[in-house]
């Protein structure tokens, strides 16, 4: 693969990560979210949430994901609009609230009870809860969460993590307000609020002392944020120089690749001046297709290889898409495998009809056998290309590129943690470049450059010639052109197909037989290629699996909002 294609592949991969292909059909904004959590003496928590939605266009309702923590439960979920009850359906942790309309502003109230959400210890009682987590796909324009104690108190410990850090303030009655302001989708913000355990029923308390541990955790959280800020400043200072070095290494790889290619082209030009030999005539057409088609073989290449056996006289056409085996002598390993696959495994041993392949692949029990045979055939074609020494794998630079790519992987985690998105994107692009270089980069050897030069001249002459000039072509060269372009799925060839049919018909006047298979060669190539493509489609199947998981908040809890 060329350096230009590697760069395009990297850019395309990055774009897929940052530009989602699936867009919500409902356009809405959540202007305001107010959550009040009322801690009860019996250990339960009654929650009232008020969501202000603004819809642009039609909608069927709203959604709220409520994922309970481990060993807790969420019950009695209800929804209201201005005091009127709304229908609610539950699918695991997703609650759908049915309230349709168009271009409206909706004030939604949701109530529910959290069971076992308060941990009561010997000295304190703690409410540690994630009302949202990274799975939330909606922005909250303004979010506030207020935790209310069972009764007024002035003994409060409160703090939050991530987006909830330093957002807390204690009110006069002991309630704690977390004022988030704008909260982007995909954010986390677990909150922790602790009161004196005497505010709760004595039977809930355990023998564990927790107050000092919680105060230490609060201090550790502050220190962790301070250390994170220091690391972020360090990364901001070091990263520009680091990426200049990475860019220099990437440019070095590109220069080495370009230099190697130029050197081989110079050698090729020198050899061409003193040689009349043709690699195009020495290498089989399936191997040539594999070499010129980015080292890939499509189902159409199987059809092309079948017609190449026809061209070489190893099989003959006895009807439309119907072939008879004549000889296996003097065939290459991949040709013998192809004959065994099509004529023995699928056909009756001596004859093969393309429709038999279609019937064969319609049976799912044959799919494994089909894939194994196809893979084995590709491998044998690949072995011929390898023996011709057309490609240099360039192992040393590829290994080094792989090492650089792996070395950059920790930064994929480090940069997002420190909110350095630009450097995160640069890291992704760098990793993809070096990874694709290590996996896909190969360079044509001198022989490969010579074959590529011959193919370019052959293709240029074929497509530039007018129909009358095709009549003057050697019939073997015309058949090679058909087979090669069919096997590589050349779009330009499809456009020239009708003209080529006329050229074959005109040249068929030189033959006296009543039935000349060459007259229908191009037509047969088209329908055979299509048949092989359709047969392969029976084997290619897509499967989708859906799984449900816990939230990413504290204790496996979390949640989010949306609409449908």
> pLDDT value at position 61?
86
The secondary structure of 475-499 as a DSSP string is: HHHHHHHHHHHHHTT-HHHHHTHHH
Residue 382, token pair as written in the block = 């690949």
Please report the domains of the chain, with CATH numbers, ordered by start residue: 25-209 (2.60.40.1730), 277-394+442-538 (no CATH)
- Among residues 227, 224, 221, the alpha carbon closest in space to that of 160 is found at 221
pLDDT tens by residue, the chain, 564 residues: 555 555 555 555 555 555 544 445 678 888 999 999 999 988 899 999 999 999 888 888 888 888 888 888 889 989 998 888 889 898 888 889 898 888 889 899 999 999 988 888 888 889 998 888 888 888 889 999 999 999 999 889 999 888 888 888 999 899 999 999 998 888 888 889 999 988 888 777 788 888 888 888 888 888 888 888 888 899 999 999 999 999 999 999 889 888 888 887 787 777 666 565 666 778 899 999 998 888 888 888 998 999 999 989 999 888 888 899 999 999 999 999 999 999 999 999 999 998 898 888 888 888 889 999 999 999 999 999 888 888 877 788 889 988 999 999 999 889 988 888 899 989 998 998 898 888 888 778 788 888 888 888 888 888 877 655 766 778 788 888 888 988 888 877 766 665 665 555 555 544 344 444 445 566 677 777 777 877 778 776 533 333 344 555 555 566 666 667
Using CA atoms, how far apart are residues 52 and 555, in angstroms rounded to an integer?
Answer: 28
Residue written as token pair 């520009």: 240
Rg of the chain, C-alpha, whole Å = 35
Chain-centre distance for alpha carbon 291: 27
Nearest to 131 by CA among 557, 464, 546: 557
User: What 8-state DSSP symbol labels residue 32?
Assistant: E
pLDDT of the residue at 514: 41
Scan for tokens 């959590």, then name that residue: 37
Q: What is the 3-state secondary structure (H, E, C) of 280-324?
A: HHHCCHHHHHHHHCCCCCCHHHHHHHHHHHHHCCCEEEEECCEEE
Q: Where are the beta strands (DSSP E) in 355-509?
A: 391-392, 443-444
Look at residue 516 in the predicted model and tell me its pLDDT: 44
Order of strands across the sheet that contains 315-319: 315-319, 322-325, 351-353
Phi, then psi, of 161 in degrees rounded to 5:
-110, 160
| pLDDT at site 179 | 92
Helix residue ranges, H only, 19-113: none
Q: Work out whether the CA dihedral 10, 14, 17, 19 comes out positive or negative.
A: negative
Q: Count the alpha carbons within 13 Å of 481 in the hemisphere toward its beta carbon.
A: 27
Q: Are the beta carbons of 536 and 26 closer than 8 angstroms?
A: no
Q: Kindly list the distances between the CA atom of residue 484 and the CA atoms of 253, 296, 331, 443, 490, in Å, as whole numbers in the listed order.
A: 33, 13, 19, 22, 9
Measured distance between the N- and C-terminal CA atoms of the chain, rounded to whole angstroms? 44
Looking up tokens 């209201």 gives 80
User: Burial letters for 182-193: b for 16+ Cβ neighbours within 10 Å, e otherwise?
Assistant: ebeeebbbbbbb
Per-residue pLDDT at 23:
45
With residue 178 as reference, give the H or E element that holds it: strand 176-183
Identify the DSSP state of 509.
G
CA distance 144 to 30: 13
Long-range contacts of 457-460 (CB under 8 A, 24+ apart): 458/280, 459/485
Question: DSSP secondary-structure letter at 426?
Answer: H
């Amino acid at each position: 693969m060329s350096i230009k294609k590697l760069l395009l592949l990297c850019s395309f991969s990055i774009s897929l990560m940052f530009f989602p292909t699936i867009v919500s059909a409902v356009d809405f904004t959540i202007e305001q979210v107010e959550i009040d959590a009322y801690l009860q003496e019996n250990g339960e928590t009654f929650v009232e949430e008020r969501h202000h939605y603004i819809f642009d266009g039609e909608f069927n309702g709203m959604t709220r994901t409520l994922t309970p923590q481990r060993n807790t439960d969420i019950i009695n979920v209800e929804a209201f609009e201005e005091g009127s009850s709304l229908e609610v359906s539950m699918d695991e942790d997703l609650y759908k609230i049915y309230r349709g309309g168009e271009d409206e502003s909706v004030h939604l109230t949701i109530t529910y009870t959290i069971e076992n959400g308060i941990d009561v210890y010997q000295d304190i009682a703690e409410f540690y809860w994630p009302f949202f987590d990274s799975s939330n796909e909606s922005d909250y324009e303004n979010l506030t969460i207020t935790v209310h104690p069972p009764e007024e108190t002035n003994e409060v410990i409160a703090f939050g993590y991530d987006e909830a850090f330093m957002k807390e303030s204690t009110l006069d009655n002991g309630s704690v307000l977390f004022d988030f302001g704008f909260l982007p989708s995909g954010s986390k913000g677990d909150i922790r609020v602790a009161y004196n355990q005497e505010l709760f029923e004595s039977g809930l308390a355990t023998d564990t002392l927790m107050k000092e541990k919680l105060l230490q955790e609060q201090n550790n959280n502050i220190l962790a944020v301070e250390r994170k800020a220091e690391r972020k400043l360090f990364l901001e200072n070091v990263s520009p120089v680091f990426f200049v070095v990475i860019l220099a290494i990437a440019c070095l790889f590109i220069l080495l690749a370009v230099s190697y290619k130029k050197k081989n082209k110079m050698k090729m030009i020198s050899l061409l001046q003193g040689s009349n030999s043709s690699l195009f005539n020495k290498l089989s057409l399936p191997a040539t297709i594999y070499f010129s088609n980015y080292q890939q073989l499509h189902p159409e290449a199987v059809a092309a290889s079948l017609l190449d056996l026809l061209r070489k006289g190893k099989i003959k056409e006895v009807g439309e898409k119907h072939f008879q085996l004549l000889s296996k002598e003097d065939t290459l390993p991949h040709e013998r495998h192809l004959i065994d696959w099509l004529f023995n495994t699928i056909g009756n041993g001596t004859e093969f009809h393309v429709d038999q392949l279609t019937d064969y692949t319609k049976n799912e029990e044959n799919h494994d056998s089909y894939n194994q045979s196809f893979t084995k055939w590709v491998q044998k074609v690949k072995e011929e290309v390898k023996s011709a020494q057309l490609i240099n794998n360039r192992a040393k630079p590829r290994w080094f590129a792989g090492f650089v790519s792996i070395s950059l992987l920790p930064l994929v985690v480090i940069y997002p943690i420190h909110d350095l998105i630009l450097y995160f994107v640069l890291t992704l692009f760098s990793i993809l470049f070096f990874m694709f270089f290590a996996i896909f980069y190969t360079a044509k050897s001198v022989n490969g450059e010579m074959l590529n030069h011959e193919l370019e001249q052959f293709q240029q002459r074929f497509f530039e010639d007018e129909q009358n000039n095709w009549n003057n072509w050697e019939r073997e060269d015309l058949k090679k052109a058909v087979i090669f372009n069919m096997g590589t799925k050349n779009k330009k060839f499809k456009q020239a197909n009708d003209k080529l049919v006329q050229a074959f018909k005109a040249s068929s006047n030189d033959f006296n037989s009543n039935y000349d298979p060459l007259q229908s060669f191009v037509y047969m190539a088209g329908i055979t290629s299509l048949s092989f493509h359709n047969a392969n489609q029976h084997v290619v199947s897509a499967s989708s699996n859906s799984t449900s998981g816990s939230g990413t908040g504290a204790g496996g809890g979390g949640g989010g909002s949306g609409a449908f």
